[in-house]
Amino acid sequence: MIKQIEWKNDILTLLDQRLLPITEKYIECTKYDQIIDAIKTLAVRGAPLIGVSAGMGIVVASKETDKKGEELRQYVIEAEKKLRASRPTAVNLMWALDRMMPFIMSDPSDSEAYISALEKEALNIWNEDIELCRKMGEYGLEIVPQNANIITHCNTGSLATAGDGTALAVIRAAHRAGKNIHVFADETRPLLQGARLTAWELAHDSIPFTLICDGMSSYVMKNKKIDLVITGADRIAGNGDSANKIGTYGLAVSAKYHNVPFYIAAPYSTLDLSIKSGEQIVIEQRKAEEVRAFGGVRTSPENCDVLNPAFDVTPAELIAGIITDRGIVRPPFTEGLKKI
């Protein structure tokens, strides 16, 4: 079992994913500011795990202060605002905080009861995520043939969720079911979530895999017998347009060209039915330095112009199906997503 997050003695312990796979170091959060910092710097990342961490951030905020009653509630309201603004694209963050909202706004006159209600709901979100991962794995089994070669992008495993993952939960379930699969993991520039994190998880579970550079996936589709591509998502619009790690869109375009089915795996907490299409999804733009350098070593001319969108949107028409915790939704997505 990978220990990516733990709650003990009022301390939220997070595995510092920036240091993987070289160092396994944990951050002990006793202040919600530390959790915000972990989310912003990608020490903790992946849409569902960001949501779980934010929910726990509210609990940490309620416990770090001596304030009582209405002052305590105001303190928690302030924490909620800051946590909500920590990253813009993964809707699981907003979803988790929305779930916390009725408890945040409830009567704080009995401070102990107020704090324990916050803790109960945040742990509900956490435990539910473990179950959602399990169900995605179960439902996803049917799309993975025996001896399948699978391409995946970014990290969608235990390091991105509280459980087995999203796309990686499907991969794990297929491996456990004895399907003799082989995974091609995109390294995922610029921050190498595929190379550093997915490869680490696959090795941990002894799932056969080959690490490839992002630019190799078309070559791999042409020259290896690839049966499917499966990735996660950070936000899925009502029509099925799906935001995920930068590079996913290009992968889906190439999959279409090579007649390889492209699937998304995501829990219902990643759906944003308040928006009709992917055009309305805010794409996080990150620092230029992440592209200009890696691990503090400059890999490009100093101060050169850089573009660094953290995500892109794959249009629904390129997606063969969305594997959710409530079953697989096939195109056209608008009705199917509403139903689940």
Query: Exposed (0-12), middle (13-18) or buried (19+): which is 287, by Cβ within 10 Å?
Result: exposed
CA dihedral 190, 191, 194, 195 (to 10 degrees): 100
- Shortest Å distance, C-beta 106 to ligand MRU: 30
- Shortest Å distance, C-beta 240 to ligand MRU: 15
From the candidates 214, 234, 272, 312, give the one annotated as an active-site residue. 234
* Helical segments of the chain, H only: 32-40, 47-64, 69-84, 91-104, 111-140, 167-176, 199-204, 217-223, 248-257, 289-292, 333-339
Closer to ligand MRU by Cβ: residue 98 or 284: 284
Bond preceding residue 267 cis, omega within 30 of 0 = no
**d(Cα 101, Cα 112) in Å, to the nearest integer?**
17
Bond preceding residue 21 cis, omega within 30 of 0 = yes
* Residue 10 appears among annotated catalytic residues: no
Nearest residue (beta carbon) to ligand MRU: 232
Closer to ligand MRU by Cβ: residue 151 or 154: 154
- Shortest Å distance, C-beta 314 to ligand MRU: 11
Task: Name the percent of the chain in helix, strand, coil, to the closest 5.
Answer: 45, 20, 35
Q: What does each C-alpha distance from 185 to 106, 142, 210, 339 come to in angstroms?
A: 45, 21, 6, 32
Closer to ligand MRU by Cβ: residue 56 or 117: 56
| Side chain identity, residue 113 | A
Q: Is 187 in a helix, a strand, or coil? A: coil
Closer to ligand MRU by Cβ: residue 91 or 260: 91
Closer to ligand MRU by Cβ: residue 80 or 129: 129
The closest of 302, 307, 305, 300 to 285, measured between CA atoms, is 307
- Shortest Å distance, C-beta 1 to ligand MRU: 18
| Side chain identity, residue 80 | E
Residues that bind ligand MRU (CB under 6 A): 42, 45-48, 90, 154, 156, 160-161, 166, 193, 231-234, 244-245, 310
- Shortest Å distance, C-beta 197 to ligand MRU: 8
Residues annotated catalytic, as ranges: 234
